[in-house]
Each structure stands twice: as C-alpha cells, then as structure tokens.
C-alpha cells in the first residue's frame, strides 16, 4: 500500500513539477474520501535549495527520510541533463527499489533515475526535447520520446510538466481504484485519465542526423507531401537503385522512407489544424492522406487523438471544422 511519499529535491528544482507532487500526495483530502499520505519534501543538497524561478525552498528533511518511503518522486530541475548527482542520492534511490519501493520522475527528473542505473533495460520517457539526450547519456535505457508516461513497475517516468499529473493519477488509480483517481482529478480540475501511451504534443521531430546523399530528396519530399510517391520514384530522383536508396535513407535518417513521409504529413496536418480554418477533408488532401478517414486513422495512431480534438486543444472551442469520420 502506498502510504509514505517523499519528493526528492536537488538544487534548481522546478516549482511547478514539485507542486504537482505536493498537490497529489501532500494535501489532506480525507473529507472527500481520498487517502492521506505521510508526505515529506526531502533535500538532497542541504536544508535550503534554489528553484529555477529565483526563490528558495527550505526543508528539515534529509536523505534519511527516503528510507521510510514507499514512493520517491523526483521532480524536474534546471541543468539536470548536464550535472552530476551526489552518490549518496543515487545509493538511496537504488536501495529504495531493492527493498520494493517505487520511484517516479517528472520530466528531467528521469536523468537522476538514469544516473542511479534505474533506467537500464527499462522503458522510460521524459520531455520530448530531452529524449535524444537521455538516450545518449544512458544508452541502456529504452527511451520512448513521445508518450506521456511509462510504468515499469518499480520505476515510473513521465514527460514534461503536466504529464506528471497523468503519471500521479495513474498511480492513484492503480493503488486506490478509478473512483479515487476521478475524485482527485475533479478536485484538481484536470482530465481524470489520459493514457500513458497517448502521444506528447511534439511540435517538430527530434533532430535528424545530417544527410549526405539523400538530403536533396528529403527536401523534395517535404515540398510535395500532397503527392503519391514510391521508393522507386525517390530512388530515381536520387540517382540510385531502389535497394541502395532504401539502405542510404535508413542510415542517414534512422527510419524508412514510408515512416519519414508519414511523420512529415502528420506534422503538416498538426500545423494546419493549429493555424488555419481548413476543413479536415481539405487538410487530408493537402497532407497527402487523401481522405478524412485516412487522416484520422493516421493521426490517432501517431498522436493518440483525433484531428478535431487536437484542433480544439490548440485553438479552443471556437475552432471550426467538419466532424471527424469513423
């Protein structure tokens, strides 16, 4: 049972991500029938810590408090991607997992778990902007860059900012049931459930490697996303055989021509949904999906939401379009 929770803070912690943990685990909402946790904010680096917003936080609790915790949650902080962490902090996290406790990271807090070796061989996530760097720093981690959170049993990791709320509600749902999670979500005025596999809203793909031989072909593909294209046609543009082109494309982009093209079309659809009043049918045509049904299918597969739901999220209820089709 989850009764004892500690938020582990390092210098330059982000207040919002810490606030998420305090809101979910640190408030007494027993009058609503919700569980009460023995919650503590623990400093890893002295009694007074700076936040990235310019103010300080003080707490009487040191690392010894972690030995009692059923859950240790690590919020995001500035420069977590490039700094080193006290070895006693990493040891405390490893001991917690060894004795059966769980650890949870919010956004760049994943780097602390990675430094402790807790992401090795496990699926995990962080904010999409940091995912590539997380993979480079911890090559044994299985980084999923476009999901809201990942639950690997002892280790839960979540993406940027509000995705920490999703991960915490998931944990409440897991420990106390759907009703408790829904009640807490209503109190916090947030959606009661967004599945962990739902995609982060990534504004652009992760940086692709430089392309020595297919760069001009990529540029042509970007300019003609509304057109049908085959590997044979693209290979001819690149003056290669289809087999050589497919191999070079994979080497230089890390993916296949079809997957690259699909990703670019979805990105263009996102842009048009955010910035235009075009109908779903028109957007489907301009992005090369052809029909609204195909656009919707690929959009849901890629982002976990429909085109109209995406448009409402980023443009508000006044945005207009034709209804999504089945």
> Which are the contacts of 301, defined by CB distance < 8 A and separation ≥ 6?
none
**Strand, coil or helix: 143:** strand
Round to whole Å and give the CA distance between 310 and 160: 18
Beta carbons within 10 angstroms of residue 132's beta carbon: 13
Round to whole Å and give the CA distance between 14 and 3: 25
pTM above 0.85, yes or no: no
Our CA dihedral for 315, 317, 320, 324, rounded to 10 degrees, sits at 100
The CATH code that applies to domain 4-188 is 3.40.50.880
Round to whole Å and give the CA distance between 254 and 272: 26
N-term to C-term CA, the chain: 42
Task: For the chain, give every domain's residue range.
Answer: 4-188, 215-315
pLDDT digits (tens, 9 = 90+) for 11-25: 999 999 999 999 999
What kind and span of H or E run contains 56?
strand 56-58
Cβ–Cβ under 8 Å, residues 280 and 324: yes
Q: Does the active-site annotation cover 107?
A: yes
In this prediction, residue 213 carries a pLDDT of 82
Nearest in space to 267 (alpha carbons), one of 307, 227, 231, 233: 307
Low-confidence stretches of the chain (pLDDT beneath 50):
205-209, 319-326
Q: Which of 107, 124, 168, 211 is catalytic?
A: 107
Token pair in block for residue 22: 């305090």
Distances (CA, A) of 35 to 74, 173, 178, 179, 301: 21, 12, 13, 12, 36
Round to whole Å and give the CA distance between 217 and 209: 15
What CATH superfamily classification does 215-315 receive?
Homeodomain-like (1.10.10.60)
Nearest in space to 296 (alpha carbons), one of 306, 304, 287: 306
Length of the chain: 326
Give the strand pairing for 4-9 and 38-43.
Answer: parallel
């Amino acid at each position: 049972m989850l009764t004892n929770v500690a938020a582990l803070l390092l210098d330059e912690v982000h207040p919002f991500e810490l606030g998420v943990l305090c809101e979910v685990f640190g408030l007494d909402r027993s009058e609503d029938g919700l569980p009460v946790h023995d919650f503590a904010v623990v400093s890893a680096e002295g009694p007074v810590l700076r936040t990235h917003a310019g103010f300080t936080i003080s707490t009487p609790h040191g690392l010894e408090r972690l030995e009692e915790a059923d859950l240790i949650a690590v919020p995001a902080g500035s420069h977590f991607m490039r700094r080193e962490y006290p070895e006693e902090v990493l040891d405390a996290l490893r001991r917690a997992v060894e004795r059966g406790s769980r650890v949870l990271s919010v956004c760049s807090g994943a780097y602390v778990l990675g430094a402790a070796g807790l992401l090795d061989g496990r699926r995990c996530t962080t904010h999409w902007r940091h995912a590539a760097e997380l993979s480079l720093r911890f090559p044994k981690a299985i980084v999923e860059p476009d999901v809201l959170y990942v639950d690997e049993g002892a280790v839960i990791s979540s993406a940027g900012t509000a995705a920490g709320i999703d991960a915490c509600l998931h944990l409440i749902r897991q420990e106390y049931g759907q009703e408790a999670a829904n009640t807490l979500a209503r109190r916090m005025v947030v959606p009661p459930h967004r599945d962990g596999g739902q995609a982060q809203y990534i504004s652009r793909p992760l940086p692709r490697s430089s392309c020595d031989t297919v760069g001009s072909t990529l540029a042509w593909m970007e300019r003609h996303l509304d057109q049908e294209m085959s590997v044979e046609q693209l290979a001819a543009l690149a003056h290669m055989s289809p087999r050589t082109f497919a191999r070079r494309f994979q080497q230089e982009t890390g993916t296949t021509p079809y997957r690259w093209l699909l990703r670019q079309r979805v990105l263009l659809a996102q842009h048009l949904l955010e910035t235009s009043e075009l109908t779903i049918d028109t957007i489907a045509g301009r992005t090369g999906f052809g029909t609204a049904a195909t656009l919707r299918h690929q959009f849901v597969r890629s982002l976990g939401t429909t085109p109209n739901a995406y448009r409402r999220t980023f443009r508000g209820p006044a945005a207009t379009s034709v209804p999504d089709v089945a």
